[in-house]
Amino acid sequence: MSGKKRRYSRWRLAVQTAAFLVILINPFLNYYWQFSFVQGWYQSLGIGKLWFVSPLEGLESILVSKTVYLPLLIGMLIPVLLALFLGRVFCGWICPIHFLSELEDRLLRLLRIKRRDLWRLPRMVFWFALIGELLLSMIIGAPLFVFLSPPGLVGREIMMAVFFHTLALEGVIVVLVLTLNLFTRRFFCRYLCPLGALLAFLGSKRRLLVVKREEECLKCGLCDRACPLGLSPSQGEGASLYCWNCGECVDACRLNALAFRWRAIGPRVQSDSQPRDE
Amino acid sequence: MPIGGFVVHVQPEEKEELLRELSRHPQVEVFGHDEKGHLIVVLETETSEEMEALVEELSRLRGVINFNLAYLHAEDEVKKIEAGEIKPEIRFHRLRPEESS
Amino acid sequence: MALSRREFLKRTAALTAASLVGMNLPLKVDRAQADADRWVRGTCRFCGVGCRVELGIKDGRPVAIRGVPQSRTNMGYLCMKGMLFYQLMRHPDRLTKPLYRESKKEKFREISWEEALSIAAKKFAESIKNHGPDSVAYYGSGQALTEETYLFQKIMRAGLRTNNVEGNPRLCMASAVGGYITSFGADEPIGSYADIEQAFCFFIIGSNMAEAHPVLFRRVMRRKLDNPREVTVINADPRRSPTSRIADIHLQFKPGTDLALLNAMAYVIVEEKLYNEDFLNNYCTFRVGKEKKEVSFEDYKKFISAYTPEKAADICGGNITPDLIRKVARIFATSPATMSLWTMGINQRIRGVWANNLIHNLHLLTGQLCRPGADSFSLTGQPNACGGVREGGGLCHILPGHRPVKVDKLRHEVEDLWGVPRGRIPAKPGYHTIAMFSAVNEGKIKAIWINCTSPAQSLPNCDKYRKGMAREDVFIIVTDIFPTKTTELANLILPTAFHFEKTGVFGCTERRSQLTLKAIDPPGEAKPEVWIAREWALKLAEELNDPVIKKCVEPFLGLEPGYELPKAIWTEYTQKLTAGRDNDLRGATYEVLQQLPDGVQWPAPTKEWALKGGTYKKFVRGLDPLADEHAIDEKPYQFYGPAHKDHKLWVWLRPYKGPAEEPDAEYPFYLSTGRVIDHWHTSSMTGRIKELMRANPYAYIEINPKDAQRLGIKPGDMVLVETRRGKNILPAKVYEGPMEGMVFVYWYDMAEDRMINRVTKDAFDPGSKEPEFKICACRIKRLSGPKPLKPYLVRL
Amino acid sequence: MGSLLLPRLAHAGLLKSPVGINHLRPPGAVPEEIFPAKCIRCGRCAEICSYRSIRVLDIRYGVYAGTPLINVEEVPCYLCMKCVDVCPTGTLRRVSQEEVRMGLAVINRRQCVTWRGLALCRTCYNVCPFKEKAIHLDQLRPVIDERFCTGCGLCVHGCPLTPKAINIEPVYAFERKSRDVREEEAL
């Protein structure tokens, strides 16, 4: 049974690294070898004829420009389905910000710096961030998140560095987000990320959950401490909207009281649950 | 302060009289003329409205067939354009080949 | 001097207005003028037009070039090459030190001039001692000054006893030389540029003069546009070029079928009795074959009857119809004055001499010659191909003053004039260009001096010849101002002075010799070629222990190389070698040339005549002093050309001959090459002018839209061009230029992948030995979508 | 940064569009009015551009940060048409090469050496991908035909003069939405 320990975090790190390498290596491939099979980063990624578009960016573009473009909807399809079935797995397993934050975590651990979640805000802030951002975008007439989104900025900075040998100023935002981590783990991801909020909203009826088996639990609280989002899996928050299914708590539990489970009863996932403006 | 270069077509037989007439205007300088009845005239005025009025006035002189603007320099405006303060409106029709000489 | 800003604006306004009605105002608004301390006059060194330019110097640095409106050649107009070449004089890539390497695998190291000249002399001497005089060679250029070519060939012929003196004009002008000599008995055009303003029909064939001779083309265009109804422009070219845009009639025929077209035009002229009977009776004979047998007009009629317009239209393809040929022939024959203009499209052909003859034939039949505006006018490619190489003895078969080497009397004349023993110059002509580099391939030539040209890029099928040049047992000396494809294969690189850094004469297309004065010092240790040649000859004399070599340069010893030395060489050449020849330049001394910024057109036997500008039209009594001198009868025209003892012009019976390599199933396209206005030849110079390189960073392949569509080639796609000799990969430009079934590539690009002469064919005209650059068969294939390409220049 | 928070002031000039003379949107771009709204700044056009013509703007351009722009003076557009194929949002519409209207080339006849009669230069004519259509020669002087000019900027890039005698004016960028755009959007 001990072999099972830490399995998810290793897997996750592998996936995150791979996902990060895509956006790290790709500009080099494009720039130096003109190999342009893959383009873009996690705002929109094109792999050959297959396109992915981040749901929030797509939604913003549609709302702000008040036009609909079919390929855009098709590009959003796979990420939306992923969120519908698996919840915020993009955040937990792919997002380069989370990846960098994890690296930061490891570095801090190495330096033996301990920290607590200093600032805690009401969870509701998360939803206001999403609504506020969408409203603001519509008022300004420009999709706000798309040029200030930390996950997108990581990709853009890499591209700028490779293609134009310079960095864009707005990269400071990434640094800011990572700095906030020092005070509260994943402060941005927890409270401010509108993309996370949208994915969480989409994943409200998701199939994949972290479920606690009461009979095995010793209430040791290890899982609660492990959760980067400050949730309490011990209280069953692994099944809440906010959980991004990273599996950290599953790994942390020594008694296998926590586990990923497919939602047993046929979930009422509405097939027509298109992203809506709340 | 606009400066305008004009080609003035005049009836050749009236040319001499016109040249005398034009030399009386302080804002007008005649740079050249030929036997076909072309005068090359440069006008310099305080404002473009004044320039227009002057052209109107001169066009009515005896013997003048027409007054064609060939070159206009509006100094203040150009300075602003150079400084990037205003963007000049583009007049494409000026560049159609059939209108170019 | 300085204008107030207000005054400047008013003048600009007035000038702009005046330009609209074509009025000239005596005003100047030239800001560049105020920026230079002084202006030095000279000739532009890009192309054979011979534009007069002035170089602006400020604080000892070249800062601008401008045209001079009073000029007789260019009327003040320049092209961008000419306008910007001052940038090259202080270019960081300039070669400034002699560079040497024993083996071609090694890196170059800097050496002193003393050492460099010793090595150069030693290698040539060794080669002569071990393998005989014909194991050394000089390969010069139509861009070298006349003084340089003259001195080098004198040292080679009289000093080293070899006729291996060639030059790149073999690649561009040789067929025109052959054509003029066989048809008119004398090299070089009869008329001048001034005929353009008096012509009524321009027959431009095989020339994109809008790109290659832009400033001259402007004169043609002005003539046409000022008299749109009276003047007709006919352009015959397989490719639609900027030249054909002003043409009333564009004859588009399959590459290499021009001989049929020209013969068919002659057929129409004969059939419809459009010929000038008086002119034919008085001045012409008909000739055929190698033995130049004289035949009758009837024989000619019989011969020409095979070339009906119907048959020719069949051969020519394109848009040629029998009616079109008839129409063009009628215009040609009946216009008040017809001027033919042609360049490489005619010359660079397997039968270039014949093609030249056939153009001359049309003029002879119709008598469109010697009158104002009527001329058969070949355009030169290089600034000094006429003056230096054709007149100065820069080809293997001719001595200075249009003297064939073979003729004992003339050869001995030269030997006597030089004061060397008779028999010093061998009777046998040396290797012509292709033979010379074949000999390099075979190892027959052990040491070669390449001056001011880059055969590694400019020879057809150049890979073949580059192999030979890369041989370790061939010692190559290159004199140039920049690294080129050829310096890559050199053992010894000698840095030379550039234009305006030395004094000398260029002779342009219209027999005009113009002097360019030294304005600034060359950078670093670069030296004028005349100095290099003289010093080298002295070392050779020591090495070979041969006082005759020293004798060759004796008149020039100790002279200052910036002005005195070229002057002494020019004086010897003109006063001694051109005396009594058809290119008599005795009147065109340095003093006269300095007095006349537009130079002198030969024949100019006396100073008085030269001061009038020389001869505008050859062979016409009253206009040409030699026509009076050599007159044999009372007729107004006297064709005293040295090659025709009968004082007649010869109409040649030349059959149709297609190109050496025609497209077939395997290689279905015609490949043709040419120049773009912004680059000069191998772009070793123009490539270093950032403005020009930015405009044309790399060569591309022009494809007809129909072919492109068929092959799925889109603009910018990378295209593989393949011939039997090699392949190139070039970006595509799809446009209505080349006709269907033909592709066109510019040859200036130095990048290995885009160097089109790696695939062109090295078949050559048996008469003129000029290779057929213009036509070969190729196939093309789309390789990939657009790729960003980098401009490439050879650097050290 | 302050300007970021000012809603809808783009048209009042506070949020100035980066599009200007020789600074153009890539081929097929929707009008500048909705460009920043539609573009999701994914950078795929910039990554696929093998000529590096497309630059990505940074935050100094306010709400235009992250949008693609071509400065034709530096690197012109070679009309390879790859970028329009990868745009996920339709901000760059899929147009064919000859339908591209990035702007319109305008020759400054007072600057051009050929028009001033100082020299014969026809670089702009030679480098034009639609040579003889978009730029033709009238008495050896270049003349633009607005019907065919794509505004790719090869002429500007090639122009040997400083300042340039030929420039691209982004005339189409500020047009109201044309009918065909609406049609396409209605989809």
Domains delineated in chain B? 2-74 (3.30.70.920)
Model confidence over A135-150: pLDDT tens digits? Answer: 888 887 777 777 778 8
**Residue D88 and residue D109 in one domain:** no
Is D182 among the domain residues? no
Q: How far apart are CA A195 and CA A206, in angstroms?
A: 17
**Residue D10 and residue D58 in one domain:** yes
- Give the mean pLDDT of C378-388: 91
**Residue D72 and residue D128 in one domain:** no
**Residue C152 and residue C9 in one domain:** no
| CATH code for the domain in which residue D38 is found | 3.30.70
Per the structure, how many domains does chain D have?
2
**Residue C332 and residue C413 in one domain:** no
Torsion (CA) D96, D98, D100, D102 in degrees, nearest 10: 160
Model confidence over C44-66: pLDDT tens digits? Answer: 999 899 999 999 898 888 888 88
Predicted confidence (pLDDT) at residue C276 exceeds the cutoff of 90: yes
Q: How far apart are CA C667 and CA C688, in angstroms?
A: 35
Model confidence over A17-57: pLDDT tens digits? Answer: 999 998 898 888 888 877 878 888 888 888 888 888 888 88
* Chain A partners (3+ C-beta pairs within 8 A): D
Contact between A54 and D40 using a beta-carbon 8 Å cutoff: yes
pLDDT at B94: 37
**Residue C251 and residue C373 in one domain:** yes
pLDDT at C84: 87
Task: Write down the H helix ranges in C630-777.
Answer: 690-695, 705-711
Last residue of a domain, one of D82, D100, D118: D100
Please give the DSSP secondary-structure letter assigned to residue C2. P
Q: What are phi and psi of C179, to 5 degrees?
A: -65, -45
Q: How far apart are CA A228 and CA C56, in angstroms?
A: 74
Is C178 among the domain residues? no
Confidence of residue C4 (pLDDT cuts 50, 70, 90): low
**Residue D28 and residue D72 in one domain:** yes
Is D9 among the domain residues? yes
Model confidence over C236-262: pLDDT tens digits? Answer: 999 998 888 889 999 999 999 999 999
| CA nearest to D67 within chain A | A147
Is C197 among the domain residues? yes
D136: containing domain: 104-169
**Residue C425 and residue C403 in one domain:** yes
- Which residue, among C20, C46, C735, would best test binding to D if mutated, counting the most D CBs under 10 Å from its CB? C735
Q: Which residues pair with A53 in a beta bridge?
A: A44
**Residue D91 and residue D114 in one domain:** no
Last residue of a domain, one of C379, C400, C421: C379
* Bridge pairing between strands C61-67 and C52-58: antiparallel
**Residue D51 and residue D95 in one domain:** yes
Give the 3-state secondary structure of residue C224: helix
Average confidence score pLDDT of chain C: 92
**Residue C687 and residue C744 in one domain:** yes
**Residue C374 and residue C412 in one domain:** no
**Distance from chain centroid for Cα C411:** 26
Is D179 among the domain residues? no
C499: containing domain: 99-172+384-562
Provide, rounded to the nearest whole percent, the portion of chain C with pLDDT above 70.
Answer: 97
Contact between A141 and D7 using a beta-carbon 8 Å cutoff: yes
pLDDT at A278: 34
Contact between D48 and A71 using a beta-carbon 8 Å cutoff: no
**Residue D9 and residue D63 in one domain:** yes
Given a cut of 70, the residues of chain B with pLDDT beneath it are: 1, 48-49, 70-71, 73-101
Is C636 among the domain residues? no
**Residue D69 and residue D119 in one domain:** no
Q: How far apart are CA C120 and CA C99, in angstroms?
A: 12
Q: How far apart are CA C547 and CA D38, in angstroms?
A: 86
Given a cut of 50, the residues of chain D with pLDDT beneath it are: 1-14, 179, 187
Confidence of residue A270 (pLDDT cuts 50, 70, 90): very low
**Residue C358 and residue C393 in one domain:** no
pLDDT at D42: 87
> Residue A3: how many CA atoms within 13 Å on its side-chain side?
0
**Residue C520: partners with Cβ closer than 8 Å, 6 or more residues away:** C57, C60, C61, C62, C89, C500, C501
Per the structure, how many domains does chain C have?
4
Q: Enter the tokens of residue C386.
A: 């006429």
Contact between D122 and C242 using a beta-carbon 8 Å cutoff: yes
The residue type found at A58 is G
Q: How close C202 comes to chain B (CA, Å)?
A: 24
**Residue D37 and residue D111 in one domain:** no
Give the 3-state secondary structure of residue C413: helix
Q: How close D16 comes to chain A (CA, Å)?
A: 13
pLDDT at C551: 92
For chain C, the residues whose C-beta falls within 8 A of a C-beta of chain B are 6, 9-21, 23, 25, 27
**Residue C444 and residue C410 in one domain:** yes
**Residue C167 and residue C237 in one domain:** no
Q: How close D5 comes to chain A (CA, Å)?
A: 7
Is D183 among the domain residues? no
Is D91 among the domain residues? yes
**Residue C205 and residue C154 in one domain:** no
For chain D, the residues whose C-beta falls within 8 A of a C-beta of chain B are 20-21, 104, 106-107, 110, 136, 138, 143-146, 169, 171
All residues of chain B having their beta carbon less than 8 Å from the beta carbon of residue C28 are none
**Residue C755 and residue C706 in one domain:** yes
Q: What is the largest CA-CA distance in chain A?
A: 58
* Chain B partners (3+ C-beta pairs within 8 A): C, D
CB C677 within 8 A of CB D126: yes
Buried b (16+ CB within 10 A) or exposed e, A20-40: bebbbebbebbbeeeebebbb
Q: How far apart are CA C475 and CA C132, in angstroms?
A: 15
Contact between D47 and A139 using a beta-carbon 8 Å cutoff: no
Residue with tokens 């002779």: C507
Is D187 among the domain residues? no
| CATH code for the domain in which residue C196 is found | 3.40.228.10
**Residue D22 and residue D90 in one domain:** yes
pLDDT at C27: 63
Provide the total of helices (H) and of strands (E) in chain B, helices listed first. 3, 4
Contact between D125 and C242 using a beta-carbon 8 Å cutoff: yes
Is D178 among the domain residues? no
Q: Which of A40, A139, A143 lies closest to D44 in CB terms?
A: A40
CB-based contact, B83 to chain D, within 8 Å: no
Model confidence over A141-183: pLDDT tens digits? Answer: 777 777 778 888 888 889 888 888 888 888 888 899 888 888 8
Is C419 among the domain residues? yes
End-to-end CA distance of chain D: 37
All residues of chain B having their beta carbon less than 8 Å from the beta carbon of residue D136 are 97
| CATH code for the domain in which residue C692 is found | 2.40.40.20
pLDDT at B74: 61
- Which residue, among D113, D121, D131, D132, would best test binding to C if mutated, counting the most C CBs under 10 Å from its CB? D121
Q: Which residues pair with A210 in a beta bridge?
A: A260
Average confidence score pLDDT of chain A: 81
All residues of chain D having their beta carbon less than 8 Å from the beta carbon of residue A53 are 40, 42, 88-89
Predicted confidence (pLDDT) at residue C15 exceeds the cutoff of 80: no
Is D141 among the domain residues? yes
**Residue C429 and residue C545 in one domain:** yes
| CATH code for the domain in which residue C149 is found | 3.40.50.740
**Residue D13 and residue D96 in one domain:** yes
CB C757 within 8 A of CB C682: no
Please give the DSSP secondary-structure letter assigned to residue C538. H
CB C261 within 8 A of CB C236: yes
**Residue D37 and residue D95 in one domain:** yes
Q: How far apart are CA A122 and CA A125, in angstroms?
A: 6
Predicted confidence (pLDDT) at residue C441 exceeds the cutoff of 80: yes
Model confidence over A53-95: pLDDT tens digits? Answer: 888 888 888 888 888 888 888 888 888 988 888 888 888 888 9
**Residue C682: partners with Cβ closer than 8 Å, 6 or more residues away:** C454, C457, C458, C484, C485, C747, C748, C750
Sign of the alpha-carbon dihedral angle for C164, C169, C175, C176: negative
